[in-house]
């Protein structure tokens, strides 16, 4: 199932699609089904976070709504044309963004540091998230900025000390995340033993989307082709099978230290350096079965504070 937050006729809604079928207005379809079956429509579910918070994020519900639409011939009323909607980020402000460092062997070998013996994770600010088509803004005084293509995992329900054997039950699905990084600032922070936070958390430095794709379509240990292009130039070709620590291992390890909640995002790491981006560029990330995430690049008008 592909799930997306959308803007349709100036209203935010939730949309779903099974396989290659057209998207439908899940917000309207669910209310119609509730009104028909119980006589009373519930509070509108207008986002992925709404659905996760309601505790109703289940494949069975998606299938029930699609079956109701088909049985009552409502497709003409709830179908959404791609040109009629704007796809938004899967989350406006996810609760936590947990990012992995050096979680692909090839990328880890680009560093002079030893290969990690356990997952290395850090956090990104949730205020850095933008959606498909939104603009990545480069501060003018921070030097080289690079995009990073990553497979991101969305948590479905509260997770604490979860074993890898049951990890799938705690995952809502996958999306694409661009872990934009200020590389020179990052090098300085590593040298000073500072945490990797500031260089990763600037405004617009976390493009995400376009869809949340459920685990049943992708698998728990996906082997998905990944590409990153800048202005059509192929910069990165990789596959998620190259993860050092897979999705189940990451969820088990991280939940052993942190309590994870519905809508938290774990982004699994960058497979390869992509090189610098500059104002006027367009960055295109594609992950097989997940979709395409595209964002233009501009320079910011306000410089970041200089180091003291």
pLDDT in tens, 10-24: 999 999 999 888 999
269 versus 300: the higher-pLDDT residue is: 269
pLDDT computed for residue 189 by the predictor: 81
Query: pLDDT tier at 110 (50, 70, 90 boundaries)?
Result: low
| C-alpha torsion 205→217→7→81, nearest 10 | 130
Helix (H) or strand (E) holding 210: strand 206-213
**Using 50, 70 and 90 to split pLDDT, how confident is the model at 48?**
very high
Split at pLDDT 50, 70, 90, the class of 89 is very high
Please determine, for residue 66, whether its predicted confidence score (pLDDT) is greater than 90. Answer: yes
8 A C-beta contact, residue 25 and residue 31: no
Residue ranges of alpha helices (H) inside the chain are: 26-38, 48-53, 59-71, 75-78, 105-108, 183-191, 215-218, 247-255
- Average pLDDT (273-296) is 97
Percentage of the chain modeled with pLDDT above 90: 80
Cα–Cα–Cα angle for 18, 24, 25, nearest 5°? 135
Give the model confidence (pLDDT) of 119-134 as tens digits: 999 999 999 999 999 9
**Residue with more model confidence, 308 or 155:** 155
Count other Cβ atoms within 10 Å, centred on residue 160. Answer: 12
Helices 59-71 and 26-38 meet at what angle, rounded to 10?
80
Averaged pLDDT for residues 190-195: 80
Under the phi-then-psi rule, with left for phi > 0, alpha for psi from -120 to 50, and beta for the rest, what region is 231? left
3-class SS of residue 176: strand
pLDDT at 221 over 70: yes
Whether the per-residue pLDDT at 79 is higher than 80: the answer is yes
Residues 6+ apart with CB under 8 A from 49: 91, 92, 94, 262, 263
Strand partners, 207: 130
Q: What are phi and psi of 300, to 5 degrees?
A: -80, 160
Write down the pLDDT at residue 308: 39
The predicted structure's pLDDT at residue 42: 81
Confidence of residue 156 (pLDDT cuts 50, 70, 90): very high
pTM over 0.75: yes
Q: Give the total residue count for the chain.
A: 308
With a cut of 90, say whether residue 25 has pLDDT above it: yes
């Amino acid at each position: 199932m592909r799930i997306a937050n959308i803007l349709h006729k100036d209203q935010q809604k939730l949309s779903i699609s099974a396989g290659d079928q057209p998207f439908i207005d899940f917000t309207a379809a669910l209310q119609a089904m509730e009104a028909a079956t119980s006589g009373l429509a519930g509070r509108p579910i207008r986002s992925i976070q709404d659905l996760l918070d309601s505790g109703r994020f289940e494949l069975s519900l998606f299938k029930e709504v699609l079956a109701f639409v088909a049985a009552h011939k409502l497709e003409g009323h709830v179908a959404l044309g791609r040109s009629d909607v704007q796809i938004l980020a899967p989350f406006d402000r996810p609760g936590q963004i947990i990012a992995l460092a050096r979680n692909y062997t090839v990328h880890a070998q680009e560093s002079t540091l030893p290969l990690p013996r356990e997952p290395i994770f850090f956090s990104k600010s949730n205020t850095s998230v933008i959606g498909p088509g939104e603009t990545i803004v480069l501060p003018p005084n921070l030097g080289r900025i690079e995009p990073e293509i990553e497979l991101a995992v969305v948590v479905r329900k509260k997770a604490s000390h979860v074993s890898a054997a049951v990890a799938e039950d705690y995952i809502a699905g996958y999306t694409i995340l661009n872990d934009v990084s200020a590389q020179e600032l990052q090098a300085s922070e590593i040298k000073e033993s500072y945490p990797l936070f500031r260089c990763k958390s600037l405004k617009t430095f976390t493009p995400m989307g376009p869809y949340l794709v459920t685990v049943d379509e992708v698998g728990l240990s996906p082997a998905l082709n990944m590409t990153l292009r800048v202005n059509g130039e192929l910069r990165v070709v990789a596959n998620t099978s190259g993860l050092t620590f897979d999705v189940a291992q990451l969820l088990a390890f991280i939940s052993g230290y942190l309590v994870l909640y519905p809508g938290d995002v774990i982004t699994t790491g960058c497979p390869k350096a992509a090189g610098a981006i500059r104002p006027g560029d367009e960055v295109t990330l594609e992950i097989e079965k997940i979709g395409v995430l595209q964002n233009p690049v501009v320079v910011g008008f306000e410089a970041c504070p200089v180091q003291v």
